[in-house]
Structure 1
């Protein structure tokens, strides 16, 4: 099972631009549409919305892609 994160946790992940960090602003436990794409989430494998530290960009990732920063 993947580590669970909470709203307000500071995390980092790999992106096309390199290592990025931000703060979790929402947790999804059901499938949702985001930026024109369907993201799959469940209670067992939630997805997290993270606001980047450097920009106003918000990304959605599974917990397996995240580490505490």
Structure 2
């Protein structure tokens, strides 16, 4: 079963810059455009938009890339 998160959850993930943490600000359950690309999502495998704690950068990841912080 895929990991599930809610808006407001504090999560962490690996990025090119190392381990990053942030707060989930949106959940997508359908395909959506993000930074010029189509990101694939479904109700069974949603994508999460996360705002970084340090830089306020917004990232989009599937639940499999995230852990509870």
- Please classify the TM superposition score into its range, dividing by the shorter chain length: over 0.9
TM norm structure 2: 0.98
- Alpha-carbon distance between aligned partners in 2 of 1:22 and 1:34, rounded to the nearest angstrom: 18
Aligned CA-pair RMSD = 0.4
Unmatched runs of 5 consecutive residues or more in structure 2: none
Q: Which runs of 4+ in 1 moved over 2 A?
A: none
CA distance in 1, matches of 2:68, 2:39: 22
Q: TM-score, length-normalised on structure 1?
A: 0.98
Give the gaps of 5 or more residues in structure 1: none
Task: Report how many aligned residue pairs link the two structures.
Answer: 69
Question: 2:38 is paired with a residue of what secondary structure?
Answer: strand
